[in-house]
Chains A and B, each alone.
Chain A
Amino acid sequence: MKNLQLIRLLVGRELTIRYKRSVIGIGWTLLNPMLTSFVLWVVFSFLFGSRLDTGQQYAPYLMAGIVVNTFFNQGLLISAESISTNAPVLTKIYVPPQVFPISVALAGLVNFFIGLIPLTLVCLVSGQMLAWTFPLVIVVGFFLALLVAGLGLSLSLLFIRYDDTRNIVGVLLLILTYLTPVFYPLSVLSPKMQHIISLNPLTSYLDCFRWAFSHNANSTIYDWLYMGATGTLSILIGTTIFKKFWPRTVAML
């Protein structure tokens, strides 16, 4: 109960603090994905725009990719870092340390939902209607939050022990971004490459998200199962590892 109050405060802080000294404040949460998508759209639309299935649009395809990719990449880095960032608190006041990575993942979820507003705009402008399956994006967001929180919890232990983990994870995330169909459609790749890319869980998250939102991709039942399984496993493994190693790690803060 008290932890819930704390998580609520932490999520609010996470959402507002980054923009405390900016003019439009939390408006950046709306603008950011639009600006990023616009730049990538200018660069890639003529390359990939015509490679989508009929009825599918490149602009919302790209932006959906950006929204999910931002949630995963930023959420993972910030949640993994949140324990060391809050070390001054954790070494003085007893708080279950898990609340910090979990709050970051929840703040990412809120940002994800806010990101649906500009995505809707882009959909409508490019002549696409939202699909009746639209409410299912909540399921995608939920499992994405579990995935981020679980991985963030496990990585946070490494972040405390080894200073260079951040750089290594940064590079790995960049590679992962290219191994995820964020800005290209799967169909541009060779069959072998397509197979490799579809092993990436994030590919399933993206397919589910794009399909649910505006039928802008195809998703199978296996995509939904793969998403559910990886999200659930991530949080289970993350919390278990964290619980086991935290007593030994806290002394290093």
Chain B
Amino acid sequence: MAVIEVKNVDLTYRVLKNRTGSLKGLFRDMIRGRIRVLDFQALRDISFTVDAGEVVAILGRNGAGKSTLLKVLARVLPPTSGSVKIQGAIAPMIELGAGFHPEMTGAENVLFYSVLMGRDMKRVKGRIPAIGEWAGVSDHMDFPMRTFSSGMIARIAFSTATDEKSEVLLVDEVLSVGDADFQKKSKARMAELIKSGAAVVLVSHDMDAVRTLAHRAIWLENGAIKMEGPAKKVVAAYEKQIQ
């Protein structure tokens, strides 16, 4: 069953060729009649599906459109045309901890981050101790986030994001979080989530990780799909090209 269904997605940014990005600059250019718009097509005719329990990796050089595609899947960027259908809850694991505030305590941040992801406040409140414990930061939950080390922040973010079962996980290079111990633990949890039927879309430059984790891979070039198929095959072709 397809949990994610992407059909003919195009995404075009319209940028004003306005050097300064200021109202003053815009006004000056308007007077001189020098307003030019530039259309930048970030995604071209992207179609694919992801089934429950399937891991799909997205490959490509910097600027190929990987992160943009992930944002479209997260519903953060609306596509210019085409459609994205997603069934169930989405856990966007893109730059974990984006919603954290340094002056708020660990517990407050966990609650806020969870509600941002659309989770129920009451339910999360009961889960805070468990989330802290899994991340190994139980003793720090009542201190402001600014006193956390970056490893601790990454751990608590991962723990929060994966605490509730989501139908869709969008992962952007977050598999290498924390020390070796925690990496093992987080990989096990990811495997568990996948086994329970989560669909995963993964963006990574780590080809070994892609080979071991992903079932299928999609290779993006200049915003379009260049190749799609079994992960090992696509990775091999991609590695051959970039060398």
Contacts and interface: CB of A to CB of B under 8 A. Distances in A.
Contacts of B14: 248
A105 B26 CA distance: 29
| Most-contacted residue by chain A among B13, B24, B116, B119 (CB, 10 A) | B116
A92 B23 contact: no
B120 A251 contact: no
A253 to B, nearest CB: 9
B23 A91 contact: no
Contact of B74 (A13, A94, A164): A94
B30 interface: no
Nearest to A20: B103
Contacts of B104: 13, 17, 20
A9 B111 contact: yes
B95 A92 contact: yes
B78 A90 contact: no
A162 B22 contact: yes
A92 B98 contact: yes
Contacts of B74: 92-94
B75 A94 contact: yes
B150 to A, nearest CB: 15
Interface string A43-67: 0000000000000000000000000
B177 to A, nearest CB: 16
Contacts of B77: 250-251
B95 A88 contact: yes
A8 B144 CA distance: 20
Contact of A93 (B24, B26, B116): B116
Interface of B: 13-14, 21-24, 26, 71, 74-78, 90, 92, 94-95, 98-99, 101, 103-104, 111-112, 115-121, 144
